[in-house]
A and B are shown apart, each in its own frame.
Chain A
Amino acid sequence: MAINEAECVGCRYCIIACPYDARFFREDKGIVEKCDFCAKRVDRGELPACVETCPSKVRVFGDLNDPNGPVRRLLESRRYYTKKPEAGTSPQIYYLL
């Protein structure tokens, strides 16, 4: 999910509506932002910064639709949970058990 910065008026209704409290207001820009998995880095073929910097390699990032990708393979072999699926947000971040 991405925010169109050119259209955001900064009303912050979405911050209040987010069940994950994932959004935040950028006082300097006057708009709302959220983690975009470092979309610019991903476009360049790099990994999101949090994945790259994690010293114990806890995080895995990849294309869920790729049957041979690392994320699909992990989800097929491991147990996992998602956060607040009852909120109806179809969360795509999986926590491995």
Chain B
Amino acid sequence: MKKIEWGYLIVSYLFLGGLSAGLYFVSALASVLQKSGEDTAYKRIARIGALLAPWPVMVGCFLLIFDLGRWYRFWKLFVHIRWTSPMSLGSWLLIAFSVVAVLYFYAWLTADQRAWLFSRVPKRLSFLHLLDRDISGKQRVLALIGLPISVGVGIYTGVLLGAVQSRPFWNTNLVAQLFLFSALSTGCAVIMLVLAWQHEPADSHGLQLLYNLDIALMILEFFIVVPYIVHGQLSVQAVKDSLELILGGPFTVLFWVFFLGLGLLLPLGIEVFESLPVLLSRATVHYNQRLTAVTAVLVLAGGFLLRYIFVFAGQMSKFN
């Protein structure tokens, strides 16, 4: 390829879209897992995720539209449905997800927050008060509806890259899984960060859910990276050549040290270490808030780097 067509805007979008998908997924999971009655720890996770989920993807969509050669024609994507194009499916998924995420956000607003929101509505737009309804009873239904859609948003970006037959660095189904688990992991990380930020007495029950989930996701991620490289090495020459980009090329240090080391294995190690009391003796842990925050930041940086490496390296790979 003569020049890189998809740059930082696309990398940022892939990250932000995945982040929203992850926030929704974790929130929905916590809201489904919470026992009837008062399970405040899970409820808090569900609320944080729900209140944050709609926004990153919306910023990401603006970046996507801004990246188009003719941004004012973006609506043309929504007068066609093309089942064979991940780009078309993805744009519909984004619309569906944004709608559900906003409804879910609304369902998780407290009565006070809703009252505050509607107190800001200007007089001329008073008809908007028709929307002032309590739909908090629909939290679980919306969580269940949105769960598969959030997985769709998390995975389609990887499908989008993996579907490109002419770029050997991308052309494997593993990219889709890698992007999905990384997306869900970044969602976990943001909620961890918020919990750590709030400086309230260590919310160990809630953090335990996030730690366990994130450990599982990062182990899955690691065991996708391994076969990705092993299979690539055993594949046709062009795929082998394309892996040189990370095995002995411009992305080697970025991939091994910064993504795999600092962005995946280090936070995984910290999370496992922090969870040892639970893992070994079912004791309760008091997670170190600072360490939790550092871990979350590492996971987020790793998620962004993964997308950076794949978007750029992929475009540089080709069949000769």
Contacts and interface: CB of A to CB of B under 8 A. Distances in A.
Contacts of A16: 1, 5-6, 164, 166-167, 315
A85 to B, nearest CB: 12
Interface string A76-97: 0000000010011000000000
Contact of A13 (B2, B70, B87, B165): B87
Interface stretch (A28-36, A50-58, A60-68): A28-36
Given A10-B68, A16-B167, A84 B315 contact: no
Contacts, number: 62
Contact of A9 (B5, B77, B167): B77
A24 B5 CA distance: 9
B30 to A, nearest CB: 35
Interface in A3-17: 7-13, 15-17
A29 B69 CA distance: 8
B164 A9 contact: no
A9 B315 contact: no
A7 B76 contact: yes
A17 B165 CA distance: 7
Q: Which of B69, B76, B77 has the most CB of A within 10 A?
A: B69
A30 B69 contact: yes
Looking at chain A's contact residues, the main secondary structure is loop
B73 interface: yes
B166 A19 contact: yes
B1 A11 contact: no
A82 to B, nearest CB: 14
Given A11-B87, A15-B1, A25-B69, 7 more contacts: A9-B70, A11-B67, A15-B5, A16-B166, A19-B165, A21-B2, A87-B166
Interface of B: 1-2, 5-6, 67-70, 73-74, 76-77, 87, 160, 164-167, 315, 318-319
Interface of A: 7-13, 15-19, 21, 24-27, 29-32, 84, 87-88
The 7 closest A-B pairs by CB, nearest first: A10-B69, A30-B69, A19-B166, A30-B70, A12-B5, A9-B73, A10-B68
30 contacts: A7-B76, A8-B69, A8-B70, A8-B73, A9-B68, A9-B69, A9-B70, A9-B76, A10-B73, A11-B68, A11-B69, A12-B6, A15-B5, A16-B1, A16-B6, A16-B167, A17-B164, A17-B165, A21-B1, A21-B2, A21-B318, A24-B2, A25-B5, A27-B69, A30-B68, A30-B69, A30-B70, A32-B69, A87-B319, A88-B165
